[in-house]
Structure 1
C-alpha cells in the first residue's frame, strides 16, 4: 500500500465521511471528529513526504477542520510538496468547528481570525492553490481581497455563509479566477470589478437589499450565470436589462426560484435583446406550481440565439408543510401569483430554439397552453421532453393526502391524448 501511494497522482483527503454535510448534521461526536481530522493531517503529511517528485500530482483535494495544529501541518506539507515536486491543481475545503446554525456572530469572527492566522503561517501553500472553499466566517472588509492577493494562482473560490457583516461590500479583483460561487451571506453587493478570466458566477440566496446583488465590471469572458433565491415579500425584483447591462456575453443563464416568489421582471425585447443576444441555454428552476407559465415567453422574444430551454415546476412539499400560514406570514413569505406578460410581437418567429425540457409537467391547461405557444413561435423545434415532478426523499415520505396527486400521463392512451391536445401528429 505504501508503494502504491507513492505512485498515485490524484488525492482526495477528507476528515468527513459524507462530503459537504458538515453543516447539516454532526457525523461524529466532537472528540471523534477532531481525532479523525488529526489523523487525516498526519496521513496527508506522510503521503506528501514519501512521494516521488518524478510523478506529478494532477489533483490534490483536502477537506479539513480549521484547527491550528492540524491546519498548519497540512499547510506546511502542501507547501513543501509544491516546492519539491509538480502539483498541478491543489484545493483546500476548510470546515469550521461549529456548523453555521450553531454559530454566534463572535464565532464567525473567530473563525475568520483563525483562517487569517493560517494564511499568514502558510503563505507558500496558498500561493499555489487553484481552488479554495471557505464557510462560516465573518471577515473584515480588506480580508477577502487580501486572500485573493495571496492566492495568486486561484481559479475557483466558493464562499458559504461568509461575509463582512450586514450590508458590507465584497469587491473582487483577480487575474486568474475563472469561477466564483457565493452561498448565503450578508453582502449588500458583490462587485466583480476586474476579473479578465472569469467564466462562471453562482450566487445563492443573497441578502435582501435595495440594490442589485451583483455589479459586473470588467468580466469579458463571463458566460455562465446561476442565480438562486428563496423570494419573500421584501425581495427586490431584478431587471435583467439592468443587472446584465455590462455583460452581453452570457450564453448560459440559470434562475432558481426555490418554489417561492418570482423575483425577475418580464421586460420588453427592446430592453433585453442587447444583453441576451448570445444566450443559448436558459434554465428556469423550481417555479411554484399552479402559476401560469406564459410570462416566461419574454425570454424567447428577446434571446433570438437561444437553442435550449429547460423549465422545472416544483412545489417543495416538505418545506410547505413546515411553513404553515402563521410561519409564512411571520417570515415574509407571500402567496404565489401569476406574472403579467403580453407578447410585444404576437407573430414573432424564433428560428434557433430546438429543445424544450419541462420537469413537473402535468396534463392540464397551464402546461398545454404554454407548450402550444412555444411550438407556435419556435418554428424549428426538434425535441420536447416532458417529465413528471421531481420529488425529494422527504417529500416522498409525506402522507399522500397532504399533496396534490400528480396528473402526469403515464400510459399510452394518455400519451396520445396529450399529443393531440398539443396539436401534433403522432409521429412528431
Structure 2
C-alpha cells in the first residue's frame, strides 16, 4: 500500500506552522530548555527561528555538547581539542556584537581553561563584560574523572592556566559568581589569592581533586569575600583552616583523602548555617570527634552526615556537642548500613535541645556486593556509642522524625520508641521505603523485616508502637 506522502507533508507543514506562529517569548522559552547546539540547529533549519538564539538571555555552553562522537571520551586530549575548537566557534558567534541585541543575564561555560583555545574564549568573554552586555558568569574548568587518571603535570598545568586566565582577563572576575574547578594543583598563595583577591564576586566555589601540594595546610582568610557556598570533594589538603569567610552560609566537604577529616572552622564564620559531610571511610583513615570540627561554631541550624553505607567515621560523644548543637534545627543522617541499627543517633538528638527535624536513612543494597570501591573501604562497623534505650521523658523540641529505608525490625521499632520517649512534642513519624536505581530494591536479609506495603502490615506497625509507647505523633507510611 502506497504512503500518502502528500497528506503527511501537509500535516507536518501544519504542525510546523503552529509552532512558528507562537510568540518569540514562547519560542525562547523552548530554546532555553535545550543545549546550545540544538538551538543553533533550529536557527539553521527555520527562518522563523533564525534570530532567536541571539535573543536568549541565558546561555549554557558546555564542552561535552560539542564532542564529535556520541561516545567520545571528554578526558582524551584529541577529543577535548576538537570539542574546544567547536565551542570557541559557537561562543564567537553567540557573543558577536553584530548579531546580539539583548544583554546576557547569565552565561554558563564548561571548558578546560588550560587548553589552547582558552585565550580566545577569555578575550571574547572579557570583551562582552566590558561592554556591559554580560551580567553574571558561571564557569566550570576541567571534567570529573577517576582519581587514577590524575597526572601531576597536567594538574599543575591546569592550575597555571586558571591563574593566567584571570590574570590576562581581569574583567571576567567582576561578574563571576560560580566557579567549579576539577583536578588542579595550585601554589597555596595562588589559590588563596584567587579566593580572597581575584574572584571577589564569587558566591559558590567547588573544588574537586584540588590541592596546594602534597599534604599541605591551606588557610583561607578572605574578609572581603562574598562566598556563600564552599564545597570540597576528593581534595588532598592535610588541613583546611577557614579563618575568615564573613558571608559563608553553606559548607560541604566529602570524600577526603587524608588520614582524617582535617578541617578547622574556628575562624570568623558568622553566617555559617549549613554543614554537610559525606564520605566512605577508607582502610587507612581514622575516626574523629564532631565537636572538634565544630569547635567555636554555634550558629549552625542544619547538619547533614552521610556515611555512604560504610564504617561510621564519628567517635562517641554527646556533651561536648552541646555548644555546637545549641541552635541546630535540622539533622540529617544518611546511608547508615542496615546491619548497624539506629539507636546510637539518639546521642546526637539529646545534644540538640532545639532540634525540630531528624531524618535518618538506611543503606541496604544488593548492588554493592561487587562494587570495586568497597575493597578500599574500612571494615564496616557501627559507632561504638552506648545509649540507653529508654530514659525518663524529656521535653525535646523535636517535631518530625523521618526514617528512609524503614523495615519492620525490632531494632527500628525500638529506635522509634526511644525518640518518642524523649520528644513529647513529636507531631509526626514518617516511615518510607527506599529503592536503588542500580539494584531496584532494598535488599533486606529477612522477609519478615521488609517495608510494610499493605494496609494490614502498616496497621500492625502502628498498633505495636501505640501499645508500647505513649505518643500522639501521627505515623505516616510512604514509598
SS at match of 1:363: coil
**Which residue in the other structure is 2:189 paired with?**
142
> Which structure 2 residues correspond to residues 47-86 of structure 1 after superposition, within 5 A?
47-50=94-97, 55-86=102-133
Deviation at residue 383 of structure 1 after TM alignment: 1.8
**Which residue in the other structure is 2:201 paired with?**
153
> Which structure 2 residues correspond to residues 199-348 of structure 1 after superposition, within 5 A?
199-209=249-259, 212-269=262-319, 271-322=320-371, 328=375, 331=376, 333-337=378-382, 339-343=384-388, 346-348=391-393
SS at match of 1:16: helix
If the length of structure 2 is used for normalisation, what is the TM-score?
0.79
Cα distance per residue 1:76-98 (max 9 Å; x no partner): 22211211125332111111597
Query: Is 2:389–2:418's contact at 8 Å kept on the other side of the alignment?
Result: no
**Which residue in the other structure is 2:180 paired with?**
133
- Count residues with an aligned counterpart: 416
If the length of structure 1 is used for normalisation, what is the TM-score?
0.87
Deviation at residue 32 of structure 1 after TM alignment: 4.4
Does 1:171 find its partner at 2:219? yes
Change (3 A) 1:72 1:423: same
Supply the distance in 2 between the matched residues of 1:17 and 1:84 (Cα, whole angstroms). 28
Change (3 A) 1:231 1:100: closer
Change (3 A) 1:43 1:392: same
**Which residue in the other structure is 1:16 paired with?**
64
Supply the distance in 2 between the matched residues of 1:226 and 1:97 (Cα, whole angstroms). 21
Supply the distance in 2 between the matched residues of 1:66 and 1:426 (Cα, whole angstroms). 55
Does 1:396 find its partner at 2:440? yes
Deviation at residue 134 of structure 1 after TM alignment: 0.3
SS at match of 2:277: strand
Supply the distance in 2 between the matched residues of 1:85 and 1:322 (Cα, whole angstroms). 51
Supply the distance in 1 between the matched residues of 2:129 and 2:250 (Cα, whole angstroms). 27
Query: Is 2:427–2:473's contact at 8 Å kept on the other side of the alignment?
Result: no
Does 1:371 find its partner at 2:416? yes
Deviation at residue 339 of structure 1 after TM alignment: 2.6
**Which residue in the other structure is 1:196 paired with?**
246
Deviation at residue 188 of structure 1 after TM alignment: 0.9
Query: Aligned Cα RMSD in Å?
Result: 3.1
Structure 2 residue runs of 5 or longer lacking an equivalent are 1-48
Structure 1 residue runs of 5 or longer lacking an equivalent are none
Query: Is 2:355–2:398's contact at 8 Å kept on the other side of the alignment?
Result: yes
SS at match of 1:69: coil
Cα distance per residue 1:197-231 (max 9 Å; x no partner): 00001001113336733333110000010001111
Query: Is 1:292–1:338's contact at 8 Å kept on the other side of the alignment?
Result: no
Does 1:422 find its partner at 2:465? yes
**Which residue in the other structure is 2:28 paired with?**
none
**Which residue in the other structure is 2:236 paired with?**
186
Query: Is 2:260–2:287's contact at 8 Å kept on the other side of the alignment?
Result: no
Deviation at residue 62 of structure 1 after TM alignment: 0.8
Deviation at residue 102 of structure 1 after TM alignment: 2.1
Cα distance per residue 1:266-304 (max 9 Å; x no partner): 4233x2221111111110011111112111011221111
SS at match of 1:158: strand
Cα distance per residue 1:120-164 (max 9 Å; x no partner): 322221343111000011112212112222112111110001112
**Which residue in the other structure is 1:95 paired with?**
142
Query: Is 1:38–1:70's contact at 8 Å kept on the other side of the alignment?
Result: yes
Does 1:352 find its partner at 2:397? yes
SS at match of 2:369: helix
